[in-house]
Amino acid sequence: MQQISRQEHGGPVVSILIPTFNRAGYLQAALASACAQTYPNLEIIVLDDASSDNTPAVVRAFQQQDDRIVYVRNHRNRGLVANWRQGVEMARGDFFCFLGDDDTLEPAFVETLLQPLRQDARLVLAFCDHWVMDGEGRRLPDDSERNTRRWRRARLPEGSVDDFLRVALIDRSVFIGAVLFRRASVHPTFLADEARAMVDLWLLYRCAQQGGAYYVPQRLASCRWQPGGVSRSWNWRLYGFEGELFCYRHFLQDPALAPYRPVFEARMAYALTTYGNTLLSIGQRVAARERLRQALRLRWTLRSSVGYVLTWLGPPGSWISRGVRWLRSRFWRKPVPNYPEELFRYTVPDLSVKSMPPASSEEVAPLTLSS
């Protein structure tokens, strides 16, 4: 097979970036979907963050059939953000996307999203809807429909997005695995280490400062839902909360987001409460008390109040917190309210408002995790 080049096909190179770590089984489906794109002028970069499974063998097998695949293996694990940033730094394409190592793309994904980006240089990205699939790769139509409604894509018309900041940061409509970015508009520093597990949200925030977005309602990607995956682990939860708070501290101080300040205050209080109760459950009561105290200063809730009291009870407080978590997992089937629902608690912001006083430094002070 001859290397596919920009000159042969008369179109821009598109880079598909696949960060991966110990997902050799799922990686095969992700790679197959990348290779099957109807748009041929691709480079497919697999970013192996020091996997200990047979990921190298999987990639080599695909490389024997498709020489558009570039394999990059880190000798030590660099972590999610650094691995993503490395991909953006390496991308030769005029456009790029991130493909999760357990997700897949529909064959027309690149071709469809590339069209509006080529037609309008003001667009920094184009995104689409996506399917939800189970651990075995089976599509879940009902869950996919609920997911589309949950993140407000069901009411989002096709075309240029009127309020990119609201759609990306308030409605959270943009799934990072269903986005095609314009490389010239995205600097690798947009993937900030401090954003941690919320690096996708921070990236979208920085992109919204560069230009506009275009929405395609077709489901051109599939996201795998896996109960008990890495996102359920204690460390990953803490990693996520720290990144979420980093984002909200900046959002609260951005004059362009001032109309949405009540929403971000509510979300920050919710994140601080959940973060604090998680720390309490694993025995880090001093750190938990500080997070819950900050949550109460932003907004009083029963969860934060009870958690704060439990931090003063010593080990029994942590035992009670773990017990409550166990009971909720066994008997409380109602899902935790998702963030878009917070928006319904407030009237639609007046976007003519240009500025508001930033949140106090005490409310948004940087947080450090106690050892």
Q: What is the pLDDT of residue 47?
A: 98
- Cβ–Cβ < 8 Å for 46, 71: yes
Q: What is the pLDDT of residue 233?
A: 66
Q: What is the pLDDT of residue 236?
A: 78
Q: What is the pLDDT of residue 326?
A: 85
- Closest residue by Cα to residue 131 from 177, 171, 180: 177
Q: Which residues of the chain have pLDDT under 70?
A: 1-9, 227-234, 332-371
Q: What is the pLDDT of residue 129?
A: 98
Q: What is the pLDDT of residue 327?
A: 86
197-to-54, 66, 107, 324 alpha-carbon distances in Å: 25, 32, 28, 26
Q: Is 79 left (phi over 0), alpha (psi -120 to 50) or beta?
A: left
3-state secondary structure of 367: coil
Residues 206 and 194: their CA atoms lie apart, in Å, by: 14
Q: What is the pLDDT of residue 355?
A: 35
φ/ψ of residue 3, rounded to 5: -60, 130
3-state secondary structure of 249: helix
- The residue written with tokens 């970015």 in the block is 181
